[in-house]
Structures are given as structure tokens and as C-alpha cells.
Amino acid sequence: MRYVSTRGGMAPQPFSETLLEGLAPDGGLAVPEEMPQVDAETLERWRALTYPQLAAEVLGLFATDIPREDLARMTDAAYAGFPDEVVPLRSIGGGITLVGLSEGPTLAFKDMAMQFLGQVLSYVLERKDQVLNIVGATSGDTGSAAEHALRGKDRVSVFMLSPQGRMSTFQRAQMYSLDDANVHNIAVEGVFDDCQNLVKRLSGDLDFKHAQHLGAVNSINLGRIAAQVVYYFWAWLRVTDAVEPEHREGFEVSFAVPSGNFGNILSGFFARSMGLPIRRLVLAANENNVLDEFFRTGIYRPRSAANTFATSSPSMDISKASNLERFIHALVGHSASDVVDAWAALDRDGFFDFSAEQPRFEAEFGIVSGTSTHADRLATIRSVHEESGELIDPHTADGVTVARQYVEQDVPMLVLETAKPQKFAETITEAIGVDLEYSPELQRMLDAPQHVTEMADDEQALRAFVAEHALH
């Protein structure tokens, strides 16, 4: 299995090389030359596996340059700190089941991929005798998941940009309370898209990138996408455990996915392309609904920082979704020139137009979408709690809100949980009038001194900071 760039300017690379590259040298994103395929017989063979065992099998289809026994060791280590049932499924009624992805150390779904990425990056760097300086941007959960997965590792340092005042109190504490020497938190004046643009400018300067050994761990890193594919297969297998064996083959489910940067739902798109029987992928946006507008109209028009709302589901406060490029690459039949033309139009005009292709989004790719508001989140948190006793966070509430619009009889609707409600206690209190209690460990984290460098939206200042603190 080898990987090429969406923009056509990267020689085919093995999985290990794409991990260290992050953004491709031509500014595109790594995608498989051919998507691996999984048949019904293989799915049945996987049914009895534990989550770490399944992860080794699925990731083995992508990371063909890593021995399977090494992958198995890494997936065992990645999920050792999770409960025995790494990804529990819980019904909340109305034909909807939650896929529990928040059992990891930072209480968010990003741990599912990041814990593996921490293992595999160390593995590859050790064998290459190299170091890597991660420069990333976070709207909330990616940063803490990356830092907790990579803290204290000898060959990796982390420079994580976050937007000042745009994350929850809990999210800030999870990141800024870390005092490991290889973790550098940088709070940028602006919104997430400003942070993301700074990261892309540094990664796009190939001389600086190579001199400073820069890499990425947000969802432009293909390792993140591949690791997230696993839980789509896991959820399908667990749902179909209750289906008579003779009816399992081709049994369709739908997934609803809260989405900001289009990474989590892209992993579902990969799973569907691999042959997993997914009827619909339901994209749930918040008020920053650029992606919903695109999937409804075919016109993609990112908003400016000034027009990006600060919402009660802050991890989705994104107006320019990096991973959409991978979907566009599939939409245009893997034509790199068409991808380049689309992004040239975006840079020139502020939008690109695939309205002629919009009917294919659902008919061919199974993707539909919807928007959820603050009022919707509060109402959904309240109704789910009243009807099932489950307490969900605001991002998961966006997913449930939009999922309810697409529930079909005899097609299970699975909503990907994104985080534990404790990370957004203020919104939970507003919704149900209850103050959440924290464990002593979490309270100590919230009370701990915070370590963060505040910085203007200034590329030169960031370059200087990275150059001063990078590993070499």
C-alpha cells in the first residue's frame, strides 16, 4: 500500500513516510493509491476480535510496511489505558445508538487515534533515528489528545496552537496544565482557522519544514484518519452481533458524525469505500455550517475569522475544513489537476462550485448533512437525559439533533460520541440545571497552574518560537 498526494506532486510513499510528512510537499494531503477492500468473509472473521486486535487488522491494511506483530503490540499499548470495552455502544431510544468514543485519557474521541499515533510515531522515529517537531492547531480536543499521547517522548516535541478564549475552561486546563518539557502551548489571537493557516504556512515552506523537522498530528495526518476507520468497523460488528448470521452480509447502518474539520466523517467515508455496509454518513454542523451548505448546494464558501461564530460546541467552530480536499479528490475521480483547480478557485474567488455534482453526494457517496444551533443542543441534551438517562456533550448533541432528521425504519442510526459532558459543564448546567461533579484528579487538573505562551497571529513570531525550542 502506497500513498500519493491529492495534488499529484508527491512520489508514492509507504505509510511510515506519510506519518512524518503531514502535509504533502505540494501542499496536498496523502491518500491511498487504491483503497483496501474488505469482504463479508473478512468481516465475519473479525467479529470475535478485541478492539486492539481489530485495530491491528484494519491498520494493517494501510500500514503494509510495518510488520503485523509490531502493529499488534502498538495497538495493545495504545488502548491499554481504556476500559475493557474500549468502545461501548449505548441505545438512547428513537432508533439511535451512541458509539462511545470518549473512554480515553482526555475524555474525547481524539484519543482513539492519537494514542495509536503516539505509539507509531515513536516506533518509526526510533527506527529512522530521527526527531519530529509537531506543529498543530486545535479547536479544543485535538490539542489535549496529542499532548497527552506524546508528552515525555524523547524524539517528539509538540507546538500546539489554540485560539485565545475560544475553548472551554476544561479544554484549556487539559492542555495548559501540562508542564512536560516537550510540550509547548501557544494561544493565538484569533480563531481556529487562523491557527490552522499559520500551521499550513510553516508546513508549506519546505526549507523551514525540513530544517526544523516539522510534522503534523491533526487530521491532515493520514495515520489519524486510518486509526479512526477502526471504530466504524467495530460499531458495525457490534450492531450486527444481534442480527441472524444469514442476514448480516450487506446489513446497512447509518452514522451521524459531528464535524468541523471533516476528519472524523472522512474516516467513515474511507470505511464505506472499503466495503463496510454504510447507508448514510450524516454530517452534523453547528452554526459554523459551511460544510452543511456545501453538501446541500455543492458550493463551498469558507467564512472569514470575523464571521466564524464562537459557539457552545467549540471544537466545531471551524470554517475551513482541511480534510474536505480528500473528499474532493474522490469526487473528481482522483484527478489531481481538478483538485488543484478547485483550490485555485478558492484562493482566487473565495469559493468553489461543484453544484453540478451535488446529487452524487448522497446517491454515490451516501453523505447528507444538517445544522444544529445552541437552542437545539440544549433541547437535545435535555431530551436525551430525560428519555434515556444518558448525559451527552454539546457536540454529540449536534450529532443527535441532525441524526433524528434521517432516522429510517430498520436502519440503525449510530451517533459518534465526541466527548464526555464534563468537558463542557457550563452548557450541561444550562441545559438540565445540574452542576457536574469532578473527580479529585480532574479537580486537581482544573486547579493546576497553566503554562501557555500568548502570541499574535504572526507567522514570523511563530517561526522564531519553533526554531528556538525545536528538537534537532
Which residue numbers are catalytic?
A: 110
Tell me the torsion sign for CA atoms 224, 200, 170, 175.
positive
Report how far residue 17's alpha carbon sits from residue 7's, in angstroms, rounded to the nearest whole number. Answer: 17
The per-residue b/e assignment along 131-145, b for 16 or more CB within 10 angstroms, e otherwise, is bbbbbbbbbbbbbbb
3-state secondary structure of 10: coil
Note whether 380 and 400 are within 8 A (CB). Answer: yes
Sign of the C-alpha dihedral, residues 420, 288, 325, 271?
A: positive
Return the C-alpha cell found at 380.
437535545
Asked if residues 155 and 130 have their Cβ atoms less than 8 Å apart, the reply is yes
Could you tell me where the beta strands, DSSP code E, fall in 309-460?
Answer: 352-353, 367-371, 413-416, 453-455
State the SS3 of 139-150: CCHHHHHHHHHH
Task: Give the whole-angstrom CA distance, residue 254 versus residue 265.
Answer: 12
What is the grid cell recorded at 421? 459532558
Interior angle at CA 345, CA 341 and CA 349, nearest 5:
175
- Map grid coordinates 431510544 to a residue: 93
From the centroid of its chain, how far is CA 218? 7
On whether the CB atoms of residues 160 and 184 are closer than 8 A, the answer is yes
- 295-309 as b/e: b if 16+ CB within 10 A: beebebebbeeeebe
Dist CA 147 CA 129 (whole Å): 22
Amino acid identity, position 258: P
Q: List phi, psi (to 5°) of 304.
A: -75, 165
Q: Which of 274, 273, 257 is nearest to 265 (CA)?
A: 257
- Identify the H or E element spanning 255: strand 253-258
